[in-house]
Amino acid sequence: MKRLLLVSLMFLVIAFQNSAESQTLQQSTTRIFVSFAFEAITISTVAIGFTSSVIAPSTNTSIRADLAEYSLEGCQIRYRISGGNPTSTVGTLMTTGSGKIYGWDNINAIRFIRDTSCSSDSTLSVHYYR
């Protein structure tokens, strides 16, 4: 009886260990993103976001961008990710040459505008990944 109890306990410990290792493997799985589109966006005095037809070139949701990598050329700009429009004085400041990588569910929410300190437009070079 004691042997049966001991053997049962050993099986439970092994099963729990395998289950914990399985969960750890599932949590550490790395996702590989593939670039599928590029665009250069002119940032001026009117708030603008990523181009919808580039982010989602079809009605097939598997082709929609999950991640955007972008860098700024020209003068500094401001941006907001929260869904509202930035102004030339309100929003997170992005300086020339800086790059960002963002992934989010609503990639359409981000908006950009030229900062008040700039008298010329800037270019945002964007790579999209899925």
Does the 36-129 domain belong in CATH 3.90.320?
no
pTM over 0.75: no
CA distances to 9, 12, 16, 129 from 21, rounded to whole Å, are 18, 14, 9, 31
Residue type, 3: R
**pLDDT tens across 75-91, in order?**
999 999 887 999 999 99
Domain ranges of the chain: 36-129
Average pLDDT over residues 55-74: 83
Task: Tell me the pLDDT band of 65, cut-offs 50, 70 and 90.
Answer: confident
User: For residues 72 and 94, is the Cβ–Cβ distance under 8 A?
Assistant: yes
CA separation for the pair 93, 40 (Å, rounded): 19
Instruction: Flag whether pLDDT at 107 surpasses 50.
Output: yes
How far is residue 112's CA from residue 126's CA, in Å, rounded to a whole number?
A: 13
Percent of the chain with pLDDT over 70: 76
**Does residue 74 carry a pLDDT above 90?**
yes
DSSP state of 86: P
